[in-house]
């Protein structure tokens, strides 16, 4: 039962970092002893510590990537995404050093200064230049360009054996698929201080469970790898079954209009908050090189990146029990596994996010505020292949934008673990008797399916 905002207890074991987050909007990080556990120590003792912290708080922050690896991953984003924006000269970004010379992302002599210039803190002139040339979804800070889904550096995190082992322990699942998700590139001053929400409907879940039904809330573990300092907004302990029961009991009468069919739930700032959840909100400081993993049932939010902070670079890296989910097909009429393979082999985005929300190449609200989309359309040269049209709700032909495939895309090489994180081959080997936990019935079926799909997706 969690009524009070008790400061988290330090977790036994090595504390690798302590940090106090300077928060905007009066948001307090709630404690002085932010505990970060070592994600490279997968000894049984440390795995137990990680699991204990995760179960108690609903999240765990792991020290994971070296500074050199973070630098490499930031440069990868600049090479493959940020410097590949198709805008006209006026909007295209140029990275300059302190003396004003143009820096080349591929010149090793420029590397150190290039990184300093693109991470910041940014001076106002550089920030404005980047705002002008930044990709779509600048406000959220994670674009949906085709290039972001299968970057080789991102796959090196997705298929990292230590991370997989930790995810497997805390999600209590032997066979996991990794999310096909996007990279993060968020400028200072961007983002919204969004109110707290659950990524599922706690009222519908509780009702179903009270009636002896199955738990349909999301499974697995959510996460983000941070190459530069970041933050995570949440309310500690709100993932637990005890809290969920209490929450539903206390808040159900305050939210009589929540439909059982609603997929998500957000708190309303104008309504009473008997468990003081807004006051218990914390922004955990996430140091560069960390992976923060949170429970899919944790109450969480977002906040604006403070203007004096470095640019946030990273990627979302979550895991869920291997196998195509029915909900995926129900929402978009596409088999989840087929969609994952299509995304990987063609180098394009999936149809849905792991949450089953539809992937939007540009923010959905642009459809209702065409001048916002127009702001991006005008950055492209006339006749550019990203320019196209759609039929609006009123039946009018209106201009729009479409993603382009990555020129010369080659699927990044995957290890055996990476392959099993993308799809199901290993399941059939590890499950006695041979059977696949995902979509196929037999070992033979798995291989036949693999070669068929590889052939289809790489040739058509």
- Please give the residue ranges that form the binding site for Fe ion (CB under 5 A): 199
- Which of 29/199 has CB closer to Fe ion? 199
The first and second tokens of residue 397, run together, are 């032909």
Kindly state the smallest distance separating residue 357's Cβ from Fe ion, in Å: 10
How many angstroms separate the CA atoms of 379 and 256, rounded?
Answer: 46
Kindly state the smallest distance separating residue 436's Cβ from Fe ion, in Å: 31
Kindly state the smallest distance separating residue 198's Cβ from Fe ion, in Å: 8
Q: Are 424 and 434 in contact (CB under 8 A)?
A: no
How many angstroms separate the CA atoms of 334 and 273, rounded?
Answer: 40
Closest residue to Fe ion using C-beta atoms = 199
Q: Is 429 left (phi over 0), alpha (psi -120 to 50) or beta?
A: alpha
- Which of 49/295 has CB closer to Fe ion? 295
66 alpha-carbon distance from chain centroid: 20
- Identify which of 320, 299, 321, 303 has the alpha carbon closest to the alpha carbon of residue 312: 303
Q: Are 96 and 117 in contact (CB under 8 A)?
A: yes
- Identify which of 437, 236, 232, 264 has the alpha carbon closest to the alpha carbon of residue 355: 264
Kindly state the smallest distance separating residue 87's Cβ from Fe ion, in Å: 30
- Which of 299/422 has CB closer to Fe ion? 299
Half-sphere exposure of 377 toward its Cβ, with a 13 Å CA cutoff? Answer: 16
Q: Are 93 and 130 in contact (CB under 8 A)?
A: yes
- Which of 155/319 has CB closer to Fe ion? 319
- Identify which of 70, 66, 68 has the alpha carbon closest to the alpha carbon of residue 16: 66
Kindly state the smallest distance separating residue 300's Cβ from Fe ion, in Å: 6
- Which of 234/251 has CB closer to Fe ion? 234
Kindly state the smallest distance separating residue 197's Cβ from Fe ion, in Å: 6
- Which of 199/236 has CB closer to Fe ion? 199
- Identify which of 111, 174, 168 has the alpha carbon closest to the alpha carbon of residue 437: 174
Classify the C-alpha dihedral 205-211-177-438 as positive or negative: negative
Kindly state the smallest distance separating residue 204's Cβ from Fe ion, in Å: 17
Kindly state the smallest distance separating residue 149's Cβ from Fe ion, in Å: 19
- Which of 318/418 has CB closer to Fe ion? 318
Q: Are 122 and 131 in contact (CB under 8 A)?
A: no
Kindly state the smallest distance separating residue 235's Cβ from Fe ion, in Å: 13
- Identify which of 458, 431, 452 has the alpha carbon closest to the alpha carbon of residue 443: 431
- Which of 184/373 has CB closer to Fe ion? 184
- Which of 319/423 has CB closer to Fe ion? 319
Whether the upstream peptide bond of residue 299 has omega within 30° of 0, thus cis, is no
């Amino acid at each position: 039962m969690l009524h009070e905002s008790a400061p988290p207890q330090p977790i036994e074991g090595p504390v690798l970092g302590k940090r106090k987050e300077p928060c905007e909007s009066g948001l307090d990080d709630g404690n002085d002893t932010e505990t970060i556990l070592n994600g490279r120590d997968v000894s049984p003792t440390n795995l137990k510590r990680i699991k204990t912290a995760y179960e108690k708080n609903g999240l765990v922050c792991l020290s994971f990537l070296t500074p050199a690896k973070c630098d490499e991953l930031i440069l990868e984003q600049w090479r493959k995404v940020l410097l590949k924006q198709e805008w006209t000269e006026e909007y295209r970004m140029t990275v300059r050093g302190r003396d004003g010379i143009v820096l080349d992302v591929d010149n090793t002599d420029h590397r150190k200064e290039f990184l300093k210039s693109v991470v910041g803190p940014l001076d106002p002139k550089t920030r404005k230049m980047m705002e002008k040339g930044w990709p779509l979804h600048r406000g959220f800070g994670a674009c949906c360009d085709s290039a972001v889904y299968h970057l080789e550096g991102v796959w090196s995190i997705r298929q990292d054996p230590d991370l997989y082992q930790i995810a497997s322990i805390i999600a209590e699942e032997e066979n996991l698929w990794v999310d096909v998700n996007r990279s993060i590139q968020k400028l200072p001053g961007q983002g919204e201080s969004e109110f707290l929400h659950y990524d599922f409907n706690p009222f519908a879940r509780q009702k179903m469970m009270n009636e002896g039904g199955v738990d349909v809330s999301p499974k697995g573990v959510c996460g983000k790898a941070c190459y530069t300092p970041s933050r995570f907004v949440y309310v500690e302990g709100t993932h637990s079954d005890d809290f969920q029961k209490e929450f539903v009991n206390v808040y159900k009468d305050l939210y009589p209009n929540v439909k059982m069919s609603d997929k998500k739930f957000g708190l309303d700032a104008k309504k009473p908050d008997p468990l003081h959840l807004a006051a218990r909100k914390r922004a955990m400081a996430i140091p560069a090189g960390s992976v923060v993993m949170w429970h899919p049932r944790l109450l969480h939010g977002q906040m604006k990146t403070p203007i004096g902070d470095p640019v946030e670079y990273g990627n979302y890296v979550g895991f869920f029990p291997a196998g195509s989910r029915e909900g995926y097909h129900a929402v978009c009429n596409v088999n989840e596994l087929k969609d994952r393979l299509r995304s990987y082999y063609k180098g394009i985005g999936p149809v849905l996010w792991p949450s089953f929300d539809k992937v939007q190449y540009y923010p959905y609200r642009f459809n209702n505020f065409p001048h916002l989309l127009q702001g991006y359309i005008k950055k492209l040269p006339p006749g550019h292949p990203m320019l196209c049209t759609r039929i609006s709700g009123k039946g009018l032909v209106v201009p729009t934008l479409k993603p382009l495939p990555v020129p010369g895309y080659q699927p990044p090489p995957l290890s055996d673990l990476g392959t099993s994180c993308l799809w199901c081959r290993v399941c059939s080997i590890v499950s006695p008797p041979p059977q696949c936990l995902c979509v196929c019935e037999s070992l033979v079926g798995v291989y036949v399916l693999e070669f068929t799909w590889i052939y289809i997706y790489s040739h058509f």
